[in-house]
Structure 1
Amino acid sequence: MGRIIAVANQKGGVGKTTTTINLSACLAEKGKKVLTIDIDPQGNTSSGLGVDKNSLENTVYQLVIGASPIEDCIIDNLFENLSILPSNVNLAGAEIELIGIDEREFILKKHIEKIRNNYDYIIIDCPPSLNTLTVNAMTTADTVLVPIQCEYYALEGLTQLIHTINLVKKRLNPNLEIEGVVFTMFDARTNLSLQVVENVKENLKQNIYKSIIPRNVRLAEAPSHGLPINIYDPRSAGAEGYRDLADEVIDR
């Protein structure tokens, strides 16, 4: 039965999409069957994996409004062992269309349950806000992985996110757990990065991954080529960081 991990943080620019793309790709590289789900209307995970998101007929949007079955929405084996359920700007309208629908927090879950056993891992990229789409991801997921950027405001918003996760756990998904926190955009040359890591470790009673994702030019370039880092530059520090993270996720 596939393990479902939502990658969430309501702060933008913390490395959610980068983590979704590259963790998925590194798990696939290790022979795991992976489905990546993009439920962010910006569709950056889709384009970062080389999908022409604006030309798609079937996306997560068609799935959640009930216009297409899940089998028609998944792009199979985009890379070896890696499939995607893509998204585009149409998904922005889903919030309004779902108003008044019964059990709207469980729409994604109902669809994913049908295909869950086809994959070892299902990784969901959430929007940078705590809206209906994010709640759908959290009701579907077993765990939430939280990327934190190594910068001054790292802890801000984290308490809000943990509060939301606990609320979802209490009311909608009693099995939901925090998978762990992963530090992104770490710059070993700055004291600030080191201080942030120490600060979070002191204040957070959560699993913290040993793997730390460095600030890396190749990692920033890869999405514009529509490739995950392990294919774009397999020997870069970014690729090594995400391979280490994939190992930790598998071990956990």
Structure 2
Amino acid sequence: MTALITSFVNPKGGSGKTVAAVNLAAGIADLSYKVLLIDLDAHASASLALGLKKDPLPSLAGALIADDELYDFIEQSANTNLDVIKGSDDLVAVQVALYNQKEGLLTLKRKIDDLKKIYDYIFIDCPSSFDVLTLNALCASHAFIVPLPCEYYSTSALSTVVEYVNSLEEKGVCHASLAGILRFYGSNGVSVLNEIQNEVVKIFRKNVFKTIIPEDKCLDESIILGQPLVTNMPESSAAKAFKKLCAEFIYKSPFWLRFD
């Protein structure tokens, strides 16, 4: 068994990246798959969304710049089959250390290798920027998902992501495939939503998930409660959409593993 490693990437804040990572991880864990969620953000938003508190040292940062193993930082969440490696404030300092290392972009890839036989799926919630940590996540991944709010200016982030991934591929350090663009409905008018959707589908075609996450006030409520929407409010419209996304993602996942 080799875990499929997938990163959630979008340099634009408020894109739904963490919400997508948490609910996809929790939803797939509810289907009896063994799942690990790595919170690579110093704000630890994914950890907090799962009801886990940020801890003082030692932390994930130590594993990335020292000889510590990632396995030592795994915590079990309240969701059966879902484990978490929490984010921490000191991840900010790690970026400088990794940047100065000769093979700093491959640090997470080396560390994560020992965990690939323990899990079915490993998800990485990246910072909202293209810093060294995000680049590490992409280099360690088989695939990446780009959450996309259906609003003006959000589509510009797509080209940025593609450019960065292409530059890493040219360096021979990244082989991640675009798993899909995940669309989120916002409060914009229907004409705006249709225009953006048509543009995204036209350019990326099969790389756009069929599932669209609807606007749902329950999304914010679940974050405040520190519980994934798919398990805490399973009958909400967004939770039902995330469950469909889980099925769609699992169906497609064998394709990306071929590139391991």
Identify the TM-score tier after normalising by the shorter chain. Answer: over 0.9
Partner of 1:146: 146
Structure 2 spans left out of the alignment, 5+ residues: 253-260
Which deviates more, 170-179 or 43-52?
170-179
Q: Per-residue deviation at 1:186?
A: 4.3
Structure 1 residues 251, 99: CA separation in 2 closer, same or farther (over 3 Å shift)?
A: closer
CA distance in 2, matches of 1:29, 1:148: 25
Matches within 5 A, 1:58-207: 58-66=58-66, 68-186=68-186, 190-205=190-205, 207=207
- TM-score, normalised via structure 1 length: 0.94
Contact 1:5 1:123 in 2 (8 A): yes
Partner-residue secondary structure (3-state), 2:169: helix
Residue type at the aligned position of 1:222: S
Structure 1 residues 234, 58: CA separation in 2 closer, same or farther (over 3 Å shift)?
A: farther
Which deviates more, 233-242 or 152-161?
152-161
Q: Does 1:234 align with 2:238?
A: no
Partner of 1:21: 22
CA distance in 2, matches of 1:151, 1:34: 31
Contact 1:178 1:206 in 2 (8 A): no
Partner of 2:12: 11
Deviations 1:23-49, CA, capped at 9 Å, x for gaps: 000010111110001111111001101
CA distance in 1, matches of 2:27, 2:63: 27
Contact 2:12 2:154 in 1 (8 A): no
Structure 1 residues 19, 91: CA separation in 2 closer, same or farther (over 3 Å shift)?
A: same
CA distance in 1, matches of 2:172, 2:220: 36
CA distance in 1, matches of 2:28, 2:78: 14
Partner of 1:250: 250
Contact 2:98 2:105 in 1 (8 A): no
CA distance in 1, matches of 2:70, 2:203: 41
CA distance in 2, matches of 1:114, 1:40: 21
Find runs of 4+ consecutive structure 1 residues off by over 6 angstroms: none
Structure 1 residues 68, 5: CA separation in 2 closer, same or farther (over 3 Å shift)?
A: same
Structure 1 spans left out of the alignment, 5+ residues: none
Partner-residue secondary structure (3-state), 1:204: helix
Q: Per-residue deviation at 1:89?
A: 1.4
Contact 1:187 1:193 in 2 (8 A): no
Contact 1:48 1:227 in 2 (8 A): yes
CA distance in 2, matches of 1:34, 1:215: 26
CA distance in 2, matches of 1:43, 1:108: 17
Contact 1:185 1:214 in 2 (8 A): yes
